[in-house]
Structure 1
């Protein structure tokens, strides 16, 4: 027969039961938290991967994939080798011969894991901006950014590192031509573009301040986000207009041979156009210099014209 507990024994027994229940409850909370952590960690990683995958899809819909070069291929293309960064705060570099250029993305952190082989996606400095990098089959590269929503900053800046003595000129279409220290064309950034989610063009332009290139995108009320924009480096001729200032115009006026050297590095048939038009370019530069104006040269026809204002200083 079970004898009833005395009050002291009952109090002691109840105390033990309470402590046991509290220990079990504590263990359950810890176990639940651990399980939640284990559950959330892969979910967070999956969310990041899904976000990067969606970003790569949006970008490749805007750029296409026909001229993308897999980063698994190490051999140079068109004599140029491109290295894409592992982190967003590291530069994209391209080397051709003895010339190396690099462009740093407006991004931070490591490459997001679900980026495709051809499009490397990084988190931008702005929470509403995604940055990306692509190598292209012409030996150049793209440095892209995506404005994910209407809160994204309209201006994104890139640091452009060029060889010593190189200078930049802007074309009439808004692209940037890079000249080496000896005056030959190295390459440049093609005319800027931006597209919204419906494939519509969005107004955009470059400004240059020292080694910083800033691309400004100007969406309107009808713009569908996300918007993708693309500074693209190429080693070839940038179509448009090359502008020379007063000092450079005087130099062109005084030395027709220099004009031939200036365009000799251009790919065929543009090199021949430049050389054939050297005397005419020098003549127009001489007239412009006499008129206290400057010379501009249309590419790819290499026809020269006088102009004033703007870069003519």
Structure 2
């Protein structure tokens, strides 16, 4: 944990927002929340403690505590790159924390779809461009990357639980900033790549959503061999997906198994497009 005070993280971002202002902590964190809500909007935020779409979301009181979401008996958690006690909550329920680095602030939002956002804001070009989030998943769950750069979480049975949507980042003018995820174990690192024209502060977030995540789900060589050997397993893999995707998965089970068999014979891997569940061979990347 960083030895910097919680005030330092908020004050650094305030300097980038209003260099001439000598704001107190409350005023500083209010500015942080305003910058973040400008990037995300507030229409889809869930205020209050009520469940949304059958899901319960608990936002942390401290930066080293996780955001936790539970739905249909499945729980996921994501820990912010933050430290110290919560600094402030906006009227739209954006909770602000000091980042682990002086020029970074972090925030958490619960969304009306039962998901959540775990956000960070970089005050200036000197702020670290990489921020890491630790994920806690249900027992037996695994993470796969999608073609669009998001992450999909599969349960122990292979059914899709949900995932992190395609990453995004915006500068102070609302201009998109290149960004991507890397995954090491259950730690997700988001990297932003500003350039000379980027206006700070920059806001980015991993956004958790339950259910189907669009894109492509990749399987490695060992998993491809397993899919090739057992079409029945493929049907089970997608049976728990919500309608009509469960039907697509089951109807395509034999085709997925066939393509996986061909891929295994070609020393390649299989990828499955979501939500159509059409399989294709691929090589490189996760195929190892």
| Structure 2 equivalent of residue 184 of structure 1 | 159
Give the drift of 1:261: 1.4
Give the drift of 1:46: 6.3
CA distance in structure 2 between the aligned counterparts of 1:192 and 1:117, rounded to whole angstroms: 22
Q: How many residues align?
A: 267
CA distance in structure 2 between the aligned counterparts of 1:113 and 1:59, rounded to whole angstroms: 13
Give 5+ residue unaligned stretches, structure 1. Answer: 1-44
| Structure 2 equivalent of residue 109 of structure 1 | 84
CA contact (8 A) 1:143 1:232 kept: yes
Q: Which structure is larger by alpha-carbon Rg, 1 or 2?
A: 1
Q: 1:201 to 1:285 in 2, by over 3 A?
A: same
SS of match in other structure, 1:68: coil
Give the drift of 1:268: 2.1
Equivalent residues in 2 for 1:194-233 (5 A)? 194-233=169-208
CA contact (8 A) 2:26 2:88 kept: yes
Give the drift of 1:100: 1.0
Give the drift of 1:241: 0.7
- CA deviation map 1:107-162 (0-9, x unaligned): 01111135334200001111111100000011110000001111110000011011
Equivalent residues in 2 for 1:250-289 (5 A)? 250-289=225-264
1:297 aligned to 2:272?
A: yes
Moved over 4 A (4+): none
CA distance in structure 1 between the aligned counterparts of 2:278 and 2:284, rounded to whole angstroms: 19
Equivalent residues in 2 for 1:27-176 (5 A)? 47-70=24-47, 72-74=48-50, 76-113=51-88, 115-176=90-151
- CA deviation map 1:264-290 (0-9, x unaligned): 222222222111211111111111111
CA distance in structure 2 between the aligned counterparts of 1:113 and 1:295, rounded to whole angstroms: 46
SS of match in other structure, 1:110: strand
- CA deviation map 1:34-88 (0-9, x unaligned): xxxxxxxxxxx96111111111111111111111001x233x2222100000111
CA contact (8 A) 1:169 1:176 kept: yes
CA distance in structure 1 between the aligned counterparts of 2:167 and 2:52, rounded to whole angstroms: 23
SS of match in other structure, 2:226: helix
CA distance in structure 1 between the aligned counterparts of 2:201 and 2:253, rounded to whole angstroms: 46
Q: 1:280 to 1:50 in 2, by over 3 A?
A: same
CA distance in structure 2 between the aligned counterparts of 1:282 and 1:98, rounded to whole angstroms: 30
Give the drift of 1:247: 1.0
Higher RCO, Cα 8 Å, sep 6+? 2
Give 5+ residue unaligned stretches, structure 2. Answer: 1-21
- CA deviation map 1:207-265 (0-9, x unaligned): 11112110000000000001000101111211111000111111111111211211122
Q: Please state which structure has a larger fraction of its residues in helix.
A: 1
Q: Please state which structure has a larger fraction of its residues in strand.
A: 2
So what's the TM-score if we normalise by structure 2? 0.90
